[in-house]
Amino acid sequence: MTVSPDIPPASPSGLATAGSGPSPMRRNRRSAKFLQIVLLLAVTLIAGLPVSGIIGERTDRQSEMQEEMMRSWSPEQTVRTPVLAVPYLAADGKTRGYLKIAPATLATQAALVPERKRRGLFSATVYTAALEMTGTFAVPPAPSLEKLVGRGSSISWQDSVFLLQVSGLAGMTAEDHVVWNGETIPWRGCQELVARAEDCWGAALAARPTMAAAPATSVEMKFQATVTLRGTGAFHQTLDGRQATAVIKAPWPTPSFVGTVLPSDPSVTADAFEARWNVSDYSRPPLRSDAALLDSAEARYLPSVGVELLEAVPTYRMINRASKYASLFVVLSFTVYALFELLADVRIHIVQYGLLGLSMTLFSLLLVSFAEPFGYIAGYWISAALVLVQATAYTAAVTRRTGPTLVFATALASLFGFLHLLLGLENYSLLVGTIALFLVLSAVMAVTQRVDWQGEEP
Q: Return the top range by mean pLDDT from 81-90, 188-197, 316-325.
A: 81-90
Asked if 346 and 425 count as a contact pair (C-beta separation under 8 A), the reply is no
pLDDT of residue 445: 85
pLDDT of residue 17: 42
Q: From the options 2.60.40, 1.10.1330, 3.90.320, 1.10.4100, give the CATH code of 76-309.
A: 2.60.40
Side chain identity, residue 451: V
Q: Which of 223, 161, 154 is nearest to 193 (CA)?
A: 161
What's the mean pLDDT in 69-75?
87
Distant-in-sequence, close-in-space partners of 303: CB < 8 Å, separation ≥ 6: 238, 239, 240, 244, 259, 260, 261, 279, 281
Torsion of CA 25, 27, 30, 31, to 10 degrees: -100
pLDDT of residue 30: 64
Q: Where are the domains of the chain?
A: 32-61+315-449, 76-309
Cα–Cα dist 333/412, whole Å? 8
pLDDT of residue 458: 44
End-to-end CA distance of the chain: 42
Burial class (CB in 10 A: 0-12, 13-18, 19+), 325: middle
Q: In this structure, is the dihedral angle defined by the CA atoms of residues 214, 219, 224 and 230, taken in order, positive or negative?
A: positive
DSSP calls for 62-96: HHHHHHHHHHHT---EEEPPPEEEEEEE-TTSS-E
Q: Which of 356, 351, 325 is nearest to 430 (CA)?
A: 325
Asked if 266 and 160 count as a contact pair (C-beta separation under 8 A), the reply is no
What's the mean pLDDT in 314-334?
84
Q: Return the top range by mean pLDDT from 23-37, 42-56, 385-399.
A: 385-399
pLDDT of residue 34: 78
Q: What are the CA-CA distances from residue 346 to residues 22, 341, 409 (Å)?
A: 20, 5, 16
Torsion of CA 263, 265, 266, 270, to 10 degrees: 170
Is pLDDT above 80 for 4?
A: no
Q: Are strands 161-165 and 204-207 parallel, antiparallel or unpaired?
A: antiparallel
pLDDT of residue 112: 96
- Give the length of the chain: 458
Is pLDDT above 70 for 1?
A: no
- Max intra-chain CA distance, the chain: 137
pLDDT of residue 109: 95
Q: Are strands 77-79 and 234-238 parallel, antiparallel or unpaired?
A: parallel
Is pLDDT above 60 for 26?
A: no
What's the number of CA atoms in the CB half-sphere (13 Å) around residue 279? 31
Q: How far is CA 131 from the centre of its chain?
A: 26
pLDDT of residue 452: 67
pLDDT class of 274 with cuts at 50, 70, 90: very high
Window from 74-83, 137-146, 375-384 with minimum mean pLDDT = 137-146
pLDDT class of 20 with cuts at 50, 70, 90: very low
Asked if 117 and 126 count as a contact pair (C-beta separation under 8 A), the reply is yes
Number of helices (H), then strands (E), belonging to the chain: the values are 10, 19
pLDDT of residue 251: 95
Q: Taking all residues of the chain, what is their mean pLDDT, rounded to a whole number?
A: 83
125-157, pLDDT tens digit by residue? 999 999 999 999 888 877 777 777 777 778 888
User: E-assigned strands of 166-232?
Assistant: 177-180, 183-186, 188-189, 204-207, 219-232
Residue 238: CB atoms within 10 Å: 23
Element (H, E) at 12: none
What's the mean pLDDT in 260-289?
86
What's the mean pLDDT in 382-411?
92
Distant-in-sequence, close-in-space partners of 223: CB < 8 Å, separation ≥ 6: 82, 103, 133, 134, 135, 136, 137, 162, 178, 179, 180, 181, 209
pLDDT of residue 2: 42
Task: List b or e across 100-130, with b for residues whose CB sees 16 or more CB atoms inside 10 angstroms.
Answer: bbbbbbbbbbbbbebeeeeeeebbbbbbbbb
Q: Are strands 204-207 and 273-280 parallel, antiparallel or unpaired?
A: unpaired
pLDDT of residue 226: 95
pTM above 0.95?
A: no
Cα–Cα dist 421/440, whole Å? 16
Is pLDDT above 70 for 12?
A: no
Q: In this structure, is the dihedral angle defined by the CA atoms of residues 267, 273, 274 and 276, taken in order, positive or negative?
A: positive
Q: What are the CA-CA distances from residue 430 to residues 74, 380, 415 (Å)?
A: 38, 20, 16
